[in-house]
Structure 1
Amino acid sequence: MTGLQTLLEEAAEHPAEHPAGLDVAADLRRGHRALRRRRARWAALGVTGGLVVAGGATYTALSVHHETTTEIQPTDGPTSSAPLRTTYFDVPTPPPGWHVVGDRPQYVMISRDGSDADLDTFAGQLVVMLSDGKEDYGVGSVEHFDGRTFYVNTENADDTILAVRADDGNWLQLQYPRTAFEVHTMVVYLDGVRLKPGAQPALG
């Protein structure tokens, strides 16, 4: 109970104790109005504080899933060189110092010149992959290019994995060493990949 409320109640119970000439009833009315105003201010502050806390919690929850969105300018456009035609994919010419090792229905392996990489060694390679469209690869920050949405997953220790929807609804992905290339360069590269008959999505 507040001090103001206590004084008001004592005044109401013992009006004779107040000096003559005072309008106790008027004082009580003014006191009650002041008390109501103070309670209204407290209530407003309490509601505002609650909204701040709730807003903060909401922001925290959203920030976990926040995606940085970047629009790649058309000047960064796709490579003008003719694509390399493999059995299951057409891919843009690899960056300087890299070459196509070969492909399987699910992926194309691209390795550094002079390396001994084979089709089963994924670490440190450029790998274009076709993955099942039912999987959830739409995670990470977002890059927009050529009217398409590319997802940039940087959760792996050394490699970044880009993902974009192919025309058939499956996911086209590109794994690349994070320190070797910029994201924008790899987005443009993946945008130039085309599927051929016989390409099959990897499961899981």
Structure 2
Amino acid sequence: MTIYNFEVLKANGESKPLSEYKGHVLLIVNTATKCGFTPQYKELEELYEKYKDYGFEILDFPCNQFGEQAPGTIEEINEFCALHYNTKFERFAKINVNGEHAIPLYKELVKEKGFNGFNPNHKLTPVLEEMLSKQDPNYKQDPSIKWNFTKFLIDAEGTVIERFEPTEDMKVVEEYIKNQI
């Protein structure tokens, strides 16, 4: 199965088949506007500007499941991202990425690429590990999304290539993107 089998809701509530992205390299990311990782919007926009002419797209899915760090309406989120980070990549409707209300796309993404640990060199890794282990001592065995700004790289054929936790260095993410373009 490829991600082209799925449809998602655009920010305006209309359905969009992901098959419209056939032939594009995609970075799918769940985001939040009030998170310690929110400054990654800047790096994401830089990646988008650098590679969009080579068939690269970023699909942004705001998600309020982690510490309620994506409050507000999609309009407020769009305004925040435009004002603070001048983002131009496509933002979709707010979603759930975990649990029974997770959208089918995210159920497939975590099935394809489960959790593989946080970057041990990132300053927030100990904080995330402590918090998650208190909630579930076996969290590392669960493939679910652990936090905001988890990213999935999709190749031009719609196959999930890699999963990047929010602690991954964006230079590593960029290297994977360059190898797909």
TM-score bracket relative to the smaller structure:
under 0.3
Structure number with larger C-alpha Rg: 1
With a CA cutoff of 8 Å and minimum separation of 6, indicate the structure with the bigger relative contact order.
2
Specify which structure has the higher proportion of strand.
1
What is the TM-score normalised by the length of structure 1?
0.22
